[in-house]
A = this chain, B = another copy of it.
Amino acid sequence: MKTYLDCIPCFFKQALEAARMAGAGERMQKKILNELAEILPEFPLTSSPPEMGRIIYGLARRVTRRDDPYLKIKEKSNQLALNIYGKLKKKISRSPDKLLMAVKLAIAGNIIDYGVKNSLNVDVELAKILNEENKAINEEKKSIFDYARFKSTLRRAKTILYLADNAGETVFDRILIEEIKRIDGDKRIVYAVKEKPVINDALVEDACVCGIDKLAKVISSGSDAPGTVLSLCSKNFLRIYKKADMVISKGQGNFEALSTTKRQAFFLLMAKCPVIAKDVGCEVGDVILRSLF
């Protein structure tokens, strides 16, 4: 997805949030906004929003000299999600279509608010999200929720590249991967996280804490952009990306980075902002399982 002009106010909002998260005082926050303002005229709109995201969060890291401001949030998110792992597994086992439920949970894991106080709240939050998802799916918006094609592609795929999004969400990814492996234990899955801290995106340690390493090969994309920007990825990652029979991409950042590439991928996300909703052709809040190509 290209960067829309409406993304620009949001870049400043994100920079401010990143600065505050990194503990910057008001003066340092302003410095970060000023530096972003200086970069802005040179940033080409043909680039995708995660390319600017990378610049913004790099700026906040550099100015505040804090390498991983979201570390505690990531740890807490992992813990909260791990606490409800048993419940999530029960949900799957009780479902008539276990794979569909696992897909739905994986998307829910993307939008859940891990800022809530305990696992009981996470549970309530989850119930709310799943209801909303059911609504979206019941409305049979097949153009944005193409489960049939996902299922048939998955059946044929021997190698799968799974692009991670946030920490915490990794537990929900684990559950989908477990379901995929339950159906066919021979499938080989590679789980790709970010190379260095950016926002609350999952790193190798998050994948391991959440138990993904026992099911899949965990690698890094080689980049610290908050989305899989191919031009910034490592050769190793690109080799796997090209060869995999199927790509499962989680979250808005990965969609923004990959939606205009020519490789088929299945994007699992919720449309969180009006810009992406317009780009996809759906409403804000819609749950998306979209196959490109």
Chain A contacts to B: CB under 8 angstroms: 5-6, 8-10, 12-13, 16, 26, 29-30, 33-34, 37-38, 40-41, 45
Contacts and interface: CB of A to CB of B under 8 A. Distances in A.
A26 B9 CA distance: 15
B9 A16 contact: yes
A9 B10 contact: yes
Nearest to A31: B41
A29 B45 CA distance: 12
24 contacts: A5-B16, A5-B26, A5-B29, A5-B30, A5-B33, A6-B16, A8-B12, A8-B16, A8-B33, A9-B9, A9-B10, A9-B12, A9-B13, A9-B16, A12-B12, A30-B45, A33-B40, A34-B40, A34-B41, A37-B37, A37-B38, A37-B40, A37-B41, A38-B41
Dominant SS at the A interface?
Answer: helix
A247 B131 CA distance: 52
Nearest to A13: B9
A96 to B, nearest CB: 43
Contacts of A13: 9
Contacts of A8: 12, 16, 33
Contacts of A16: 5-6, 8-9
A12 to B, nearest CB: 4
A46 B34 CA distance: 16
A26 B6 CA distance: 11
Given A9-B10, A34-B40, 4 more contacts: A5-B29, A5-B30, A9-B9, A12-B12
Contacts of A45: 30
A22 to B, nearest CB: 14
A12 B33 CA distance: 12
A282 to B, nearest CB: 22
Contacts of A29: 5
Contacts of A33: 5, 8, 40
Nearest to A10: B9
A8 B16 CA distance: 9
Contacts of A26: 5
A26 B7 CA distance: 13
A178 to B, nearest CB: 41
A234 to B, nearest CB: 33
Nearest to A34: B41
Q: Quick one: which of A10, A30, A40 has the most chain B CB within 10 A?
A: A40
A45 B34 CA distance: 12
A49 B80 CA distance: 41
